């Protein structure tokens, strides 16, 4: 299984916030990739960022990627539309996609979902509690109920997304808001998992339980053998009931 | 439209808690019915309780009821199985059903859903915030976001229900728990709405916004003309493609 | 209620197929609008086509439209992207949308759904049987089971759409194929109904049962009072649990 | 993985129809088990029938069963209610369940679903075409589109079930009817797959593609490590937001 962790990398490059290098010495993508390598020893995990040529998302790279993780925030608009179209085509053709936190406003997520993906937010380092509401879902396997994140940005409803295929997690925050924090979708043959915890200001991706959710998500989203094919229009002859 | 508010009425009869008569001088069913009469002036609203002959749920009464509301808590086991079967048949045949609060453990709700309907609970009079997550749903029309309930029993996840057709509301509590507090189901031709706020210890059903949710729910659950028919097995001849 | 029937109108303008003027002397939009006027006497029904200035879809017109019906086939690419964006914004803000037949490949439908919307097709005038699988859905009210269309283009699975909110109708064709022919979605606050029967070569929109489905769909998709508002990002202060 | 194929075994015992012994020399359960052994070499596959003590479904047997397959038709009423309750408890606690063909009217399926599970039927040996409508679902992996069954009993809509979690297959029949022939549900922690093809009169379970669907279903329904636990009510103290 080949996994690619994509991070725009702008916060890291700008050292903003100032302590991001302390939380994430290898960048958020580095921390995420390290967690996946620990939990999915059979997977080949690599990383790419906005600054890479073609954002590190060439046609060749995408074609051999089973699951792509996407973190973006400050530079959604700088992602090339041609690259977005390429990612979209691969997802529709079966590549798994995990969209993380502020990636809710990424071009690729909004394009696949068809809604504004807007939400309520407040950044005061509140405690977040992540509750499992579908315990039989593979993504929830082994996750504590609740999963406690000591300090995190608040994301609250209304989260403007289509009804998800599965609602796996709901979060509450110290300020009283709630959020559908773990939701799955299918677009074409591709499985998509959105997971909201994780932010450039807090070391969320260093938490082992968060890493477990991401590893579960990667395993769940990976296409099976023979699963890669974009659905196409066809014009079959009359052949069944004659 | 004919609406029947059913309440087991045991808390009221036993004056337990002691101040229930202060919050609900006409019983919880009385308060609920009054709210519906105010908001649905074209509806004929009546009430029934466990102590009535056949619990007030004779075949004749049910056959002309468009929407039944169900509140039970202390006496689920005293509801006659024959009456439950009668209600079930009417729901499958198109009668609307609103199940309230501790009615999650009623025989009728568990029978229609097929799960344990268990949940987490704590009765410490915590603030509940009811957040709308499907604003286009008719049940959410005109409801504040959040709807604030000053003091209420906590109901928390995991709520063991099948995936609902629509998730309309999610609640959070002062203690940090979350709950899918407004969910819809279809069974046979019947529309079902479960709404968790409301308890014998707090005057929740006196809140105008709560009454609005219930009135919205009744309107949504009511069958249209020609909607009353239990689905039946059939053995049609070959008649279409010959 | 204000209803707008939009038809690209290219087949009609080109007299292609040659007998379209016989089936649809006022165009397909004319036939659809006539059916709606008959069944929804309280609605104000108007029509617009591709050839109209701004395709008849100015900001003013859309702002006061409750439900838009969309038929397109030969000229999807000629629909102005700015107009599509305008329609999208209104749907996300609560305007109802009915997408008809070959409209599955329209810009607006693909944008809102996020998939290819591809399918299998064959145009040999086969009998289509439309079976109701959710009889309690308002769109199915009064529709025969099956609804028989004597001659129609075959649309078959795989229909590359996201899982619908509700699957109302499934069709079979004389050649043996099946199709999810009546499906609903929500995007933002807007209710969307896709209905596949109807084609420029067959007088399907003249069938009273088909007109009934469309009238049911319009009533179902219409926003309630206060429903028009595009979901927006917000940054609320901490105000609930203090 | 431990798999148990349960068949009432009444048709086989009564040699009815007369040629059942020709199609199924080891009974339908024997054919199903053989297919699973071929495709899931790591699974331990056993069988049980109605005539076995406690129908072969003792508490011990069920506790160590990962996935149970259920075929019944002529003797639903003879299945002991205590055994049904035992199976129900295990499903709610995570055991996978595959319900086959006429098992739609079994006590266990109706209890878990909460509806009548009625349908239309006609037994004239018509061709059935099984179309995949969710190609990314693991149950559809490697299944032809359509899967052709030369002769089979017709099962048609309306199939009175709750909205499934996933609609994987839709069938059409030579007579023009359609049927949601492959559907999944979750009840408690248990994954349920209903698959309609298969009948005592036709050698459907000998078809390799049908066996592949069942093997896919077993793999999909099997609980993961730590997944076996019936959801229970709890009364947690206030401990998160203090």
| Cβ contact D188:D231 at 8 Å | yes
Q: What is the pLDDT of residue A225?
A: 84
Is residue D155 less than 8 Å (CB to CB) from chain C? no
What ipTM does this complex have? 0.97
- Min distance B144 CA to chain D CA atoms (Å): 24
The answer to whether residues C217 and C195 touch, using CB atoms and an 8 Å cutoff, is yes
In-domain check, residue B35: yes
CA gap B88, B99 in Å, rounded: 13
Residues 189-228 of C with CB under 8 A from B: 189-191, 223-227
Task: Say if D63 falls within a structural domain.
Answer: yes
pLDDT at A215: 98
Q: 3-state DSSP call for residue D114? A: coil
Average pLDDT over residues B207-233: 95
Res D180: pLDDT? 99
Q: How far apart are CA A135 and CA D38, in angstroms?
A: 31
Alpha carbon distances (Å) from A113 to A76, A162, A192, A194, D201? 16, 7, 10, 11, 46
Of A134, A186, A241, the CB nearest to D174: A241
Provide the shortest C-alpha distance from residue A3 to chain B (in Å): 30
Neighbours of chain B (3+ CB pairs under 8 A): A, C, D
Nearest CA in chain A to C238: A175
pLDDT for res C42? 97
Instruction: Count the residues in chain D.
Output: 242
- Asked if the structure places residue D236 within a domain, the reply is no
Q: Which two tokens stand for residue A147?
A: 């999963």
Q: Give just the sign of the alpha carbon dihedral A165, A166, A167, A168.
A: negative
C169 HSE (CA, 13 A, CB side): 27
Are the beta carbons of A234 and C120 separated by less than 8 Å? yes
Residue D41: inside a domain, yes or no? Answer: yes
The torsion region of residue B198 among left (phi > 0), alpha (psi -120 to 50) and beta comes to left
Minimal CA separation from A92 to chain C, in Å: 7
| DSSP codes joined into one string, A145-168 | SSEEEEEEEEEES----PPPSEEE
Number of domains composing chain A? 1
Whole-angstrom distance, CA of residue A102 vs CA of residue A71: 7
Contact A158 B133 (CB under 8 A): yes
- Counted residue by residue, chain C has a size of 242
Any D CB within 8 A of A136 CB: yes
The whole-number pLDDT of residue A136 equals: 95
Average pLDDT over residues C98-104: 98
Question: Residue B241: what pLDDT?
Answer: 87
Q: Quote the pLDDT of residue A241.
A: 87
* Strand positions, DSSP E, D133-189: 147-156, 166-173, 178-187
Indicate which CATH number applies to the domain containing A139.
Answer: 3.40.50.880
- Listing DSSP states for C86-103 in one string gives HHHHHHHTT-EEEEEGGG
| Of the partner residues B118, B158, B238, the one whose CB lies closest to the CB of residue D124 | B238
Percent of chain C at pLDDT above 90? 98
Q: Residue A72 burial by CB count (10 A; 0-12/13-18/19+): exposed, middle or buried?
A: buried
Asked if the structure places residue D27 within a domain, the reply is yes
Q: Provide mean pLDDT across the span C166-171.
A: 98
Q: Measure Cα distances from B129 to A172, A178, D8 in Å.
A: 11, 9, 51
Q: Is A165 on the interface with C (CB under 8 A)?
A: yes
pLDDT band at D225 (very low <50, low <70, confident <90, very high): confident
How many secondary structure helices (H) and strands (E) does chain A include? 7, 9
Query: Which among B116, B165, B241 is the nearest to D174, CB-wise?
Result: B241
The pLDDT, as a whole number, for residue A143 is 98
**Is the CB of residue B43 less than 8 Å from the CB of residue B2?**
yes
Residue A238 lies in a domain: no
Question: What is the arithmetic mean of pLDDT over D8-28?
Answer: 95
Return the pLDDT at C230.
Answer: 94
Instruction: Tell me which chain B residue has its CA closest to the CA of residue C150.
Output: B240
- Angstrom distances, CA of residue A153 to CA of A101, A170, B28, B205: 10, 15, 40, 35
pLDDT in tens, D157-213: 999 999 999 999 999 999 999 999 999 999 999 999 999 999 999 999 999 999 999
Please report, for chain B, how many H helices and E strands are present, in that order: 7, 9
- Is it the case that residue B108 has pLDDT exceeding 90? yes
Q: What is the bridge-based pairing of β-strands B2-7 and B44-49?
A: parallel
Burial of A101 (0-12, 13-18, 19+ CB in 10 A): buried
Site of tokens 């199976």: D87
What proportion of chain D, given as a percentage, has pLDDT over 70? 100
Q: Give D86 to chain C, closest Cα distance, Å.
A: 32
Amino acid A186: pLDDT: 98
Burial of A111 (0-12, 13-18, 19+ CB in 10 A): middle
Q: Which of B135, B189, B240 sits opposite C136 (nearest CB)?
A: B189
Check pLDDT > 90 for residue B225.
no
Mean pLDDT of C139-143: 97
Average pLDDT (D14-40) is 96
> pLDDT tens across D92-144, in order?
999 999 999 999 999 999 999 999 999 999 999 999 999 999 999 999 999 99
Asked, for residue B145, whether it belongs to a domain, the answer is no
**Beta-carbon separation of B175 and D235 below 8 A:** no
pLDDT tens across D77-103, in order?
Answer: 999 999 999 999 999 999 999 999 999
At residue A49 the predicted structure's pLDDT band, cuts being 50, 70 and 90, is: very high
Omega of the bond leading into D158 within 30 degrees of 0 (cis): yes
Q: pLDDT digits over B197-206, tens only?
A: 999 999 999 9
Q: Write the CA distances from B18 to B71, B75, C105, integer angstroms.
A: 19, 18, 64
Best of D116, D154, D229 to disrupt the B interface (most B CBs within 10 Å) is D116
- Write out the residue range of the structural domain in which residue D205 sits: 2-114+181-221
Q: Which residues on neighbouring strands pair with residue C3, listed in sequence order?
A: C45, C67
Mean pLDDT of the region C191-206: 97
- Give chain C positions within 8 Å (CB) of D170: 157, 170, 178, 180
What integer pLDDT is reported at residue D241 of this predicted model?
Answer: 87
Per the listing, tokens 């559809």 go with D140
Averaged pLDDT for residues A130-143 = 97
pLDDT value, residue A242: 74
Contact status of B30 with chain D (Cβ, < 8 Å): no
3-state helix, strand, coil in chain C (%, to 5): 30, 30, 40
| pLDDT tens readout for residues B57-77 | 999 999 999 999 999 999 999
Residue A226 predicted with pLDDT over 90 = no
Residue C158 lies in a domain: no
């Amino acid at each position: 299984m080949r996994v690619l962790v994509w991070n725009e990398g702008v916060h890291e490059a700008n050292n903003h916030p100032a302590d991001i290098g302390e939380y994430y010495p290898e960048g958020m993508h580095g921390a995420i990739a390290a967690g996946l390598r620990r939990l999915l020893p059979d997977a080949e995990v690599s990383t790419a960022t906005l600054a890479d040529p073609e954002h590190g998302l060439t046609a060749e790279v995408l074609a051999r990627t089973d699951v792509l993780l996407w973190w973006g925030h400050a530079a959604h608009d700088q992602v090339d539309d041609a690259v977005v179209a390429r990612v979209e085509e691969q997802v529709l053709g079966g590549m798994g996609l995990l969209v993380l936190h502020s990636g809710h406003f990424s071009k690729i997520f909004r394009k696949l979902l068809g809604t504004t993906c807007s939400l309520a937010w407040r950044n005061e380092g509140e405690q977040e509690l992540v509750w499992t509401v579908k315990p039989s879902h593979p993504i929830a396997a082994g996750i504590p109920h609740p999963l406690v994140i000591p300090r995190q940005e608040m994301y609250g409803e209304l989260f403007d997304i289509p009804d998800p295929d599965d609602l796996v997690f709901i979060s509450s925050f110290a300020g009283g808001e709630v959020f559908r924090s773990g939701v799955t979708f299918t677009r074409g043959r591709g499985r998509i998992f959105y997971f909201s915890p994780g932010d450039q200001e807090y070391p969320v991706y260093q938490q082992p339980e968060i890493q477990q959710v991401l590893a579960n998500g990667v395993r769940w989203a990976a296409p099976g053998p023979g699963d890669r094919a974009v659905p196409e229009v066809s014009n079959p002859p009359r052949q069944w009931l004659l």
